[in-house]
Amino acid sequence: MSNTAQPRLNYAAQLPELLQKLQEFSMAIVKSGHIEPLLSHLVDIRASQLNGCAFCLDMHVKEAKLHGERELRLHHVSIWRESPLFNAKECAALALTEALTQIAPDGISDELYAKAREQFDEKELTALVFRIMGINAWNRANVAFRTTPGTLDKMFGLDKAGLV
């Protein structure tokens, strides 16, 4: 896809009741309070990178910046394994994000699951998996319909991130 790709359609206008349910699902995960906001942003950014979702990547980088994430860490998300900027919990979440975003034929290894389980209690791990499910759903919709990055910045207050 080139940088001249045009949006295909406004999916929110086509089936607003389905969009509303996905928004409710996403908000329920946030309101559960089982995942720290900055960790949620890292998960959303990594899944969006892997899925090639420009709209979501743009949105979640701006949200992370607004919530106090350091710029260098944002630049390091794609190289998190080599970066010293992420702690064990963040690395476990990023590894699980990658594994669930690009599910291997044999699923999630016991070793990867055990590392995640060391870092997260049962509710946190469940919320993390639901968070990964949610961002993958958003990515797929926005990739399918080529939602233009930045188009909702004003509505969501993302223009205040100072990233243009």
pLDDT at 1: 47
List the pLDDT tens digit at each of the 164 positions of the chain.
455 678 899 998 999 999 999 999 999 999 999 999 999 999 999 999 999 999 999 999 999 999 999 999 999 999 999 999 999 999 999 999 999 999 999 999 999 999 999 999 999 999 999 999 999 999 999 999 999 998 888 888 888 887 76
pLDDT at 79: 98
- Give me the number of domains the chain comprises: 1
Closest C-alpha among 23, 27, 2, 26 to residue 11: 23
Residue 23 falls inside a structural domain: no
Closest C-alpha among 15, 29, 49, 50 to residue 59: 49
Residue 20 falls inside a structural domain: no
Dihedral-angle region of residue 68 (phi above 0 means left; psi in -120 to 50 means alpha; beta otherwise): left
Residue 66 falls inside a structural domain: yes
Residue 105 falls inside a structural domain: yes
Residue 17 falls inside a structural domain: no
Residue 7 falls inside a structural domain: no
CATH at 152: 1.20.1290.10
Q: What is the DSSP letter of 121?
A: -
pLDDT at 3: 58
Q: What is the domain range of residue 49?
A: 35-158
Residue 12 falls inside a structural domain: no
Q: What whole-number distance in Å separates Cα of residue 23 and Cα of residue 18?
A: 9
Closest C-alpha among 132, 116, 125 to residue 51: 132
Residue 9 falls inside a structural domain: no
Model pTM greater than 0.85?
Answer: yes
